[in-house]
Amino acid sequence: PSAFGVRAPVARARVHMAGNDERTYIMVKPDGVQRGLVGQIIGRFEQRGYQLKGLKLMQPTEALLRQHYNELVTKAFFPRLLEYMLSGPVCAMVWEGKGVVATGRMMLGATNPQASAPGTIRGDYCIDVGKNICHGSDSVENAEREIGLWFSADELLSWTPHSRPWLYE
Ligand code: ADP
């Protein structure tokens, strides 16, 4: 019982189940920052119940972007992508929670905003594939790779959100 004589939620013991600590790398791209959408995007992940582990506004370098988009460097659109991503600061984030990689991608919407359903971030806030305001890792493996590129270990915090027992069964 707590100080108020109320029993802790029964879910308490199960919230540390394996898989609840999955992480993803989410980034608000330069157009999202310029358009003042950082708060909206953070808010959606917070509201869903995911946990913020790291957050910073930064100007990415070409070297970092070449590593981040290493699978796309041979694409015809890569020079435009590079110019776009170098055009201003980005907001880099790490979010944690059960299934956050796949759910994060669903929350972002399709790569091409015109194929993104209303209700998704891209489906609500943008139009063109070359200005699609946000990035989200596409696999657990890539998420860990990207988190390692964009954040140092001491920039990722370990903390216990008070709402966790109310989010997980
Ligand atoms: P996602 O960001 O959804 O994982 P990709 O990894 O395929 O998509 O592409 C990375 C980014 O490159 C996209 O988010 C988009 O900003 C840009 N991009 C992808 N395809 C095109 C294209 N055909 N023309 C211009 N930019 C593109």
Residues having CB within 6 Å of any atom of ligand 1: 72, 77, 80-81, 111, 129-130, 132, 135, 138
Could you report the per-residue pLDDT of 40-54, keeping only the tens digit for each? Answer: 999 999 999 999 999
Could you report the per-residue pLDDT of 68-83, keeping only the tens digit for each? Answer: 999 999 999 999 999 9
Atom of ligand 1 nearest to the CA of 138: 4
pTM of the model: 0.91
How does DSSP assign 79-139, residue by residue? HHHHHHHTSS-EEEEEEESTTHHHHHHHHH--SSGGGSPBTBHHHHH---GGG--EEE-SS
Q: Quote the CA–CA distance of 62 and 47 in Å, as a whole number.
A: 33
Annotated binding residues for ATP: 29, 77, 105, 111, 122, 132
Report yes or no: 113 and 124 within 8 Å, Cβ to Cβ.
no
135: annotated active-site residue: yes
